Structure formats: structure tokens, C-alpha cells
Structure 1
Amino acid sequence: MQPLPVRDRAGNALTGFRRISEGELEGLGGRDVVPAALVVVEYGGAVLLVFDAWRRKWELPGGGREPGETTRRTAIRELREETGIRGVGVEAVAVAGFHLVAPDRHELIAVYRARLRVAPRLLVNDEVLDFRWWPPSDPVGEDTSPLDAEIARRVARTPTA
């Protein structure tokens, strides 16, 4: 693990990472407080990274909350939309703090984990061009989000609830 903050080339920073229960996470507030969720999918000692079509980077699956949606529902929906993975359990493990630069803002992002026993069938789509299983002990390449990689490393070291 790296000390925080961890920055990417654009100046965005992962500024905090706090383990949290589902109840604590939902108690933080609605979309204005926690506007998005990420999912760390683990299988065989590796974490699933998706190649984002717009940002052209390897990153964790996830995205923004829709009106009335809990962070859990967001995590499940985004995982399905970006990967095709359905019907797996997700557990809340953390909230990550970010300082983002375009536009300048601070955000809290819900972080969930899904541990798979069987390799999933992954589906390329308009948002995600490719998939890769990345061992968190491996270095981060130039084409990988260092912020998401640090989150994945911290989640991989978090015991199951």
C-alpha cells in the first residue's frame, strides 16, 4: 500500500480510505454525499479491471448513482452493465475520499467487494472495451488508474465480513 494521497497524472487524488459497514455507508447520505460506487471483483488472487472506452484506462468497474438508488444497487447495476456479471453478492467494505480536478471537487465513493469462485463470462460493451485480471501485488502500468489500483490493493487486504 502507498501512503495517501495517491495522485494520477491529471492531478486527481485518492485522499482517504476508511473501512465501513453497509449501515454506516448508507447513513452517510444520498447522491450528493456519496455519488458513486466502485466494485473490487476478486477471483483467483486477482482483481478485475475494465478498460474504460472514454478514459482509455484500466480501472475498477463502477459509476454514478441514479435517483433513488442506494450505493449497493449502484454497485450491482454498474457491475452488470460494465461486465455482464449478474447474481453475485457484493459487500460494502469502505468509503474512499477523492479530490478531483475537473471540475474541482471532493467526493466520497462507496467501495464494494465481490469474491467469485468461478471465472465469469465477461461481455464487452460501449463503456468497456476489454477486461483483465490484475494481481494487486503487480506494479501499475501507465495505462492503469493508480487511484483504482490503490483501492484494489487496500480491499484485497480487507478481511471478509
Structure 2
Amino acid sequence: MTTDQQPHALATGPLDVRLLALEPGPEERTFGDAPVTYALVALRHEGRLLLVLERERGTWELPGGGIDPGETPRVAAARELREEAGQVIAPEALRFVGFSKTAFADRPVAYGAVFAAETTAVRPFTPNEEIAAIHWWSGEPEIPGGLLQTVDTYLAERARSTPPA
């Protein structure tokens, strides 16, 4: 597909990531053109958004990752939040926002389940093999240490404006 044939992106980001759509639920929805392979969490505390610095990509992004076999996207989202950022939110406390349809430079198009939550209790973070740091983002255009994944910040803003189901 040439550049002029690519679908219009809602948002673009570093590493040639393109958000093609934010699709509504239900959470159990499936898609004929690509699988739901990942889950993301837009977690806020006192109005600030949690971002993680992913070591390999060098980008500040929403906590999240792959859905394990037999795992629901909601459970995967809570697990990834805990593993990547040390923050604990019960799966049932997450608010389902929708499905992001994302094009990546080095992988096929995939869907991700997007969830949102608020927390009053921030837990300490310990860097790990995958995540170098966390940052409670207040909207600054740059964060030292990595590139800001603007596709994720776009999704987080949409999550903020999406009413509960």
C-alpha cells in the first residue's frame, strides 16, 4: 500500500505508530480484519496521567501489553498495570473505553482494548526489565528520557471524554 492509499490516522506517534480508529464496545467484541492482542490503561491521579518509559522503544506510553491465552482484555490491563508500573487497580474498577485500531511500522494492524481509571493511592515504582521509569504527566510536550507516544496521550484524552458505559 502506498502512502497515499493508507487510511487517515486519528493520531500519529514516534516509531511510525498510527491510530486508525477508536471503536466502541461491547468488551467482548471481535473484529474480522485483525485480532484484539493488547490492552492499555489510562490511569489518572490528581488530574495527571500515568506514563511508563518503555526501555526498548525509548517512549513514554500508557501502561499495557499483550493479552495472555485465556485472559480477558480487562484482566490483562490490570495485570500489565501492576507489572509495568507497580500500580494496583482491580479489573472490575477499570472503565472500558473502546478498542484502538493501530498500525505499527513493524507489525500487522491490531486492536487493543482501552481502559481508564482514577486512583487516590499511588504505589512506589521499582524499575524493571521492561520499564525504566514512570511519570505522572500533566500535559508537558516533552518528558526527559524518551519520546512522548502521542498516540497514547490521544487515547488517554479520548478516554477522559468517553462517558461510562
The TM-score range, normalised by the shorter chain, is: 0.7 to 0.9
For residue 64 of structure 1, report the CA deviation from its aligned partner: 0.5
What one-letter code is carried by the residue in structure 1 that aligns with 2:134? Answer: F
Q: List aligned pairs for 1:33-112, cutoff 5 A.
A: 33-88=35-90, 89-103=93-107, 105-112=108-115
What one-letter code is carried by the residue in structure 1 that aligns with 2:13? Answer: D
Can you list the C-alpha shifts for 1:121-140, whole angstroms capped at 9, x where unaligned? 2232111111111124x435
Question: Which residue of structure 2 aligns with residue 11 of structure 1?
Answer: 16
The TM-score normalised by the length of structure 2 is 0.82
Query: 1: CA distance between counterparts of 2:98 and 2:126?
Result: 27
Mind listing any 5+ residue stretches in structure 2 that lack a counterpart? 1-7
Change (3 A) 1:66 1:144: same
Question: Which residue of structure 1 aligns with residue 134 of structure 2?
Answer: 131
Which 4+ stretches in 1 moved above 4 angstroms?
A: none
Give the fraction of aligned pairs with identical amino acids, expressed as a percent.
30
Query: 1: CA distance between counterparts of 2:102 and 2:59?
Result: 18
Mind listing any 5+ residue stretches in structure 1 that lack a counterpart? none
The answer to whether the Cα contact below 8 Å between 1:140 and 1:149 also exists between their aligned partners in 2 is no
The TM-score normalised by the length of structure 1 is 0.84
Aligned length: 152
For residue 43 of structure 1, report the CA deviation from its aligned partner: 0.8
Over the aligned positions, Cα root-mean-square deviation in angstroms equals: 2.1
Secondary structure, aligned partner of 2:88: coil
